Structure 1
């Protein structure tokens, strides 16, 4: 950054006076298509219902569906580029100018890929800023294993995160990493599904479900070949940077009838598919600290649908499973081991029923209605309510 521009932003960081009274206008920025971002829909809905004015800003793609009406405002920025470095550069510039002319009391950067415009605008407009870190962004496999890309994102992280003194993340290990790296004390607000009065439907067939981003590091290299030995179909709902490779793996192993790609599914439709599934999978390799310390949205989505899952034996999942016993955990994500574990879960009805009942009990304690209380407390402290 040129030194003269840097000084301009530094000099505009006057202390922000605390806001009082009722509510305030919160603006959140993401690089996702808002239609499918269940996490932000959940957060923004809770804050809007609580009394805040909320605007969620995301991207508009060529294939984007019309937005569904929500209790908060939504804005999608159209970009010429849809992926890669040029997309991030273009989106951040467009986001900066949109935010610059938007009235707000607090701006929230959702993950690192939209943090720079949020940071600069918060300084220029002298408004509060919040960092919502869903993961250790720089430690994701697709970044951590590419030195040049890692260097760029790490530089952005080192420059901005210490300046976001208010923030929250999804589990304690990630919060501790941020404290160790940048001396910031972030609140833990887990992304848990909303508790609904839903019973377990009759399963028409025993299929295995993967829902979420089809990205590097999600063990598709071993999960897909494992399906040759598994007595069920694998349904994959989602899209991402590993989609082409995943489809190629299906072709190579002749699994076109066994592994079905559904693409991106709207939240309500995805919830219906999840309820019909027999087993869920939450798998990551450990190439990147972000995977090792992850707490995936799907982990709780499966739990709330009452479906047992096969999950990696990483610290946060193990801590929850030790308490509630809702999953089969594995240290070994090899093709052979995954096939054995999935078949055992398909065939062992006694264990399956036990895990299923434990899911139904656990969701009474692990749900968004409980977790959103921490969200309200967090913003109440910022606004001095």
Structure 2
């Protein structure tokens, strides 16, 4: 039985991708351990079919957090028995890389993000230079890697001449309400991390100027306080609701109750332009249409399945226009909703997990 260790920087409970990956491997004979961090307000770990370990950290964000967490992760890994370590993103790659080199173990890289092109990094040249140097040092020396979109895989091939397999972050199929039943509410839903470049400010501005719509924001993140201040400034407290963090099961239920979802990004950095966000799949799996960006990956998918209305640029006016079009054009809305059924049938974890198992069988 091969022992696999996965490393992330979150507190494990709300990471649906890692729950799917680790759960699938554990149920197929691998001994799996997922390592994350313990925050001051972290709830108890959810029971899983694999081992979980949280490393407590004094620092919660910024450079000192990354230094502390990577230091602790190195010393945790150096004495642990395993066959391979899979580092998720650049923020856990260094300790995994060093330990595997020192001990002659297999290293795998899972690029959830095109890390050096994330907006919060692109905006800070010194930070970008540091992460880019780490990427240049490690990635050319890693043999086994996968990522979440064809766009990211092409970028890594062009930059480092390395093949990245594509294992998308698609949900498992689950029962949903009758997809033909028209929605009577006008709940617009965002779910995911509250980070810059996710269209949250623009969405709040758009909804604040519309009557009869409610924007529900599920998640937490660095700009939570800024978004709350914006809602107060616009006097939109009755139109925007901050829902906080929900367990994956509870979030799926809430998503099914929404009218549409939002999968929006700025065009700053290649990370957004070639992404294929988790929520994009979550929305059509819940049977709801969505507003997304006219970026290459979303455009290609939508040409095939037609689950979203795409906007050419991110601003409050394009979002408002898309919302009103879906509200007025009931036939269009119904067709998008119907298309979700075919999309979720073809794009589900039951099929995507076959690629995951094939990948790990070869390392």
Give the TM-score band, short-chain normalised: over 0.9
What is the match of residue 33 of structure 1?
A: 11
What is the match of residue 227 of structure 1?
A: 207
Q: Is the 8 A contact 2:176 2:287 kept in 1?
A: no
Cα distance in 1 for residues equivalent to 2:176 and 2:229: 37
Q: Is the 8 A contact 2:12 2:45 kept in 1?
A: yes
1:320 maps to 2:301: yes
TM-score w.r.t. the length of structure 2 is 0.97
Q: Is the 8 A contact 2:266 2:272 kept in 1?
A: yes
Cα distance in 2 for residues equivalent to 1:112 and 1:179: 17
Instruction: Deviation per CA, 1:126-165: give whole Å up to 9, x if none.
Output: 1100000012101000001101111111111111111111
What are structure 1's unaligned runs of at least 5 residues? 1-22
Secondary structure in structure 1 of the residue aligned to 2:190:
strand
Instruction: Deviation per CA, 1:207-246: give whole Å up to 9, x if none.
Output: 0000001101112231111112333100000111222221
What is the match of residue 196 of structure 2?
A: 216
Cα distance in 2 for residues equivalent to 1:336 and 1:376: 44
1:77 maps to 2:58: no
What is the match of residue 329 of structure 1?
A: 310
Cα distance in 2 for residues equivalent to 1:99 and 1:321: 42
Instruction: Note the C-alpha offset of 1:269.
Output: 1.0
Instruction: Deviation per CA, 1:345-377: give whole Å up to 9, x if none.
Output: 123221111111100121111101110100011
What is the match of residue 16 of structure 1?
A: none
Task: Describe how 1:72-151 pairs up with structure 2 within 5 A.
Answer: 72-151=50-129
Q: Is the 8 A contact 2:111 2:147 kept in 1?
A: yes
Q: Is the 8 A contact 1:209 1:234 kept in 2?
A: yes
Find the partner of 1:162 among 140, 160, 179: 140
Cα distance in 2 for residues equivalent to 1:206 and 1:335: 18
TM-score w.r.t. the length of structure 1 is 0.91
Instruction: Deviation per CA, 1:69-128: give whole Å up to 9, x if none.
Output: 101100000000011110000000010011111110000000110000000111122110
Cα distance in 2 for residues equivalent to 1:272 and 1:220: 22
Find the partner of 1:237 among 212, 218, 227: 218
Instruction: Note the C-alpha offset of 1:268.
Output: 1.0
Cα distance in 2 for residues equivalent to 1:377 and 1:360: 27
Task: Describe how 1:1-385 pairs up with structure 2 within 5 A.
Answer: 23-200=1-178, 203=183, 205-230=185-210, 231-382=212-363
Secondary structure in structure 2 of the residue aligned to 1:260:
strand
Cα distance in 2 for residues equivalent to 1:64 and 1:305: 27
Residues paired across the two proteins, number: 360
Q: Is the 8 A contact 1:173 1:293 kept in 2?
A: yes
CA RMSD of aligned residues (A): 1.2
Secondary structure in structure 1 of the residue aligned to 2:206:
helix
Cα distance in 2 for residues equivalent to 1:63 and 1:211: 20
Cα distance in 2 for residues equivalent to 1:187 and 1:271: 28
Instruction: Deviation per CA, 1:36-94: give whole Å up to 9, x if none.
Output: 10110011001111111100000100110101110110000000001111000000001
Between 1:200-209 and 1:270-279, the stretch displaced more is: 200-209
Secondary structure in structure 2 of the residue aligned to 1:34:
coil
